[in-house]
Amino acid sequence: MKRLALKIDVDTYRGTLRGVPALVDLLTRQQAGATFLFSLGPDHTGRAIRRAFRPGFMKKVKRTSVLEHYGLLTLMYGVVLPGPNIGRRCGSTLRAVRDAGFEVGVHCWDHVRWQDGVVGADNAWVETEMTRAVARFTEIFGEAPRVHGAAGWQMNRHALRLTQRLGFAISSDCRGTHPFIPVIDGEIVACPQLPTTLPTLDELIGVDDITADSVANHLLALTAGQSGDQVFTLHAELEGMRLLPQFERLLEGWKEQGFSLVSMADMAASLDLKRLPRHAVCFDEVPGRSGKLLVQGPEFPG
């Protein structure tokens, strides 16, 4: 049976309160598994305005209607308004996801701070951010997290090392084609990566005349006839809200194509992790997204 793992990134306070329950309801009705990855500290979404000078960022903002999807209030957090602490305020919402039978894990502490700062950060900075997230997760759920998925697919050598040292069983921190053991700067990191293999809806909308109305059919055309496992990343702020009908169309279409919709842990459980290939990781551009992301590189040694 071919499988498609659903990885849900939860970036904001609004997405946690509104998008997450809507996704839990939809996934339950569709009898689909999924992994929810939570931002656990302050919502400082408004500080993302600093990316305005990054090549391609404003073009993406225009294509994907950021104000429409995130709302004015969210875009003021961390700039005009103090950022609400998601983990402190939304513990019951997060636990309800686990109690509904879904896998839960760590996305980050502060989404914008991580996405904009980790690439050039030193070990002390990275360790502070990751241990804060792990501690808050453990406080909320009563156990340590087992899965990690980096905000914006942004990582560095120190962060990859810490996925191993902090006890994560699996990670999904990069873009790629199949599960692997990451190697960075010649160092093997013993925490398997299950990379995002499919484009996200916000990367597709507005490109080559693809609209919100047609994006689900476009993505289904990409997966039609594929036999290998896939990982699809969605966002509580998008597919959990204004793009919820498009996501429901995807779920129905993938089931028609013969995919079993699973969590990342379910996918990893059927893998022989000791026999996974080793691949270097590097940074590269991904169509439809600004800046460079962590991507799966050539098999190691190449």
Mind listing the pLDDT tens digit for each residue in 184-240?
999 999 999 999 999 999 999 999 999 999 999 999 999 998 888 999 999 999 999
Alpha-carbon dihedral 253, 256, 258, 264, rounded to 10 degrees: 40
- What's the pLDDT at 79? 73
- Report in angstroms the alpha-carbon separations of 156 from 7, 70, 115, 129, 179: 21, 28, 11, 13, 19
Q: Is the pLDDT of residue 63 over 90?
A: no
pTM of the model: 0.92
257: which 2 tokens?
């194509």
Q: Is the pLDDT of residue 60 over 60?
A: no
Q: How far is CA 184 from the centre of its chain?
A: 21
Instruction: Name the amino acid, one letter, at 174.
Output: C
Cα–Cα distance measured from residue 42 to residue 299, given in angstroms and rounded to the nearest whole number:
38
Instruction: Name the amino acid, one letter, at 276.
Output: L
Q: Is the pLDDT of residue 65 over 80?
A: no
Looking up tokens 């439809």 gives 288
Cβ atoms of residues 159 and 126 within 8 Å: yes
Confidence of residue 109 (pLDDT cuts 50, 70, 90): very high
For all residues of the chain together, what is the average pLDDT? 92
**Looking at 32-36, 43-47, 287-291, which range is the least confident one?**
43-47
Looking up tokens 């600004």 gives 290
- What's the pLDDT at 260? 97
User: What b/e sequence results for 15-40 when a residue is b if at least 16 CB atoms lie within 10 Å of its CB, and e otherwise?
Assistant: bbebbbbbbbebbeebebbbbbbbbb
